[in-house]
Structure 1
Amino acid sequence: LKDALIGMDLVIIPAGVPHKHGLTKDDLFNINVGIVKTLCEAIAKCCPKAIVNVLSNPVNSTVLITAEVFKRVGTYDPKRLLGVTMLDVVRANMFVAEVLGVDLRYVDVPIIGGHVGITILPLLSQIKPPCSFTLKRSEYPSSTILTS
């Protein structure tokens, strides 16, 4: 790991295990946080000035863990730490394209908030192309796409 990190200006962390049947969210959290923590400890030693891009789920938590590791060793720079949650945008785009019956390539749904459940918020009023939803349409059964 040390040899791979020395001199890096950018480190992307997609490491972690996917959610599997029988694995609780707590199990997933503990496994992925352990992996991210170990990687970040090495990054702090080998390339403390690198931009770090965290993709490991749950991103909202793993970014915070990363920040705490860097703070503890004195290398934290909020301008060099990023978290990517593009998967949530892709899911929302798929849902809206299906509901509206339009080509997915032309749909953009901004997402704010957390990564799952009630913490994730698609900004339906900001969808491109502009559209509106009836109450019945916004309760489309595939809305589980947004929280799976």
Structure 2
Amino acid sequence: MAQALVNMISNPVNSTVPIAAEVFKKAGTYDEKKLFGVTTLDVVRAKTFYAGKAKANVADVNVPVVGGHAGITILPLFSQATPKANLPEEDIKALTKRTQDGGTEVVEAKAGKCNFR
């Protein structure tokens, strides 16, 4: 009998994955190798910001991102980004901060522009 892989794509992923794990444990169906959290959004942000600074096509860029999905827990690994751009340290720090604050940047940009009445 095949068992499903569960891929959580929700916000905040760093909270919902542990909640799902507890639900599966209670049901007796938890398998740590079959429950995943997806933070693709952070990868897309890091790639986009890096491509802009590196003057590269975003489709050709890869930036690994590890950690959580909130603020400083998001760690884009620009040192391992491809293609290699040899950006100054201050650019890397700014890109890291922007990637970590990307969600807040979007919320602030949308402030007052969404009306769900």
Shorter-chain TM-score tier: 0.7 to 0.9
> Would you say how many aligned residue pairs link Structure 1 and Structure 2?
101
Structure 2, unaligned runs of 5 or more? 104-117
Structure 1 residues 94, 146: closer, same or farther in 2, change over 3 A? farther
Q: Which residue of 2 aligns with 1:126?
A: 80
- CA RMSD in angstroms comes to 2.0
- Contact preservation (8 Å) 1:91, 1:145: yes
Residue of 88, 107, 114 corresponding to 2:42? 88
1:121 aligned counterpart, secondary structure: strand
2:21 is aligned with 1:67: yes
Q: Deviations over 1:71-101 (max 9, x none)?
A: 1121111122111111110000000001111
Mean Cα deviation higher: 113-122 or 133-142: 133-142
Q: Which residue of 2 aligns with 1:137?
A: 91
Q: Deviations over 1:6-32 (max 9, x none)?
A: xxx7xxxxxxxxxxxxxxxxxxxxxxx
Structure 1 residues 72, 141: closer, same or farther in 2, change over 3 A? closer
Who wins on radius of gyration, i.e. which is larger?
Answer: 1
Q: Which residue of 1 aligns with 2:57?
A: 103
Mean Cα deviation higher: 138-147 or 53-62: 138-147
Which runs of at least 4 in structure 1 moved beyond 6 Å after TM superposition? none
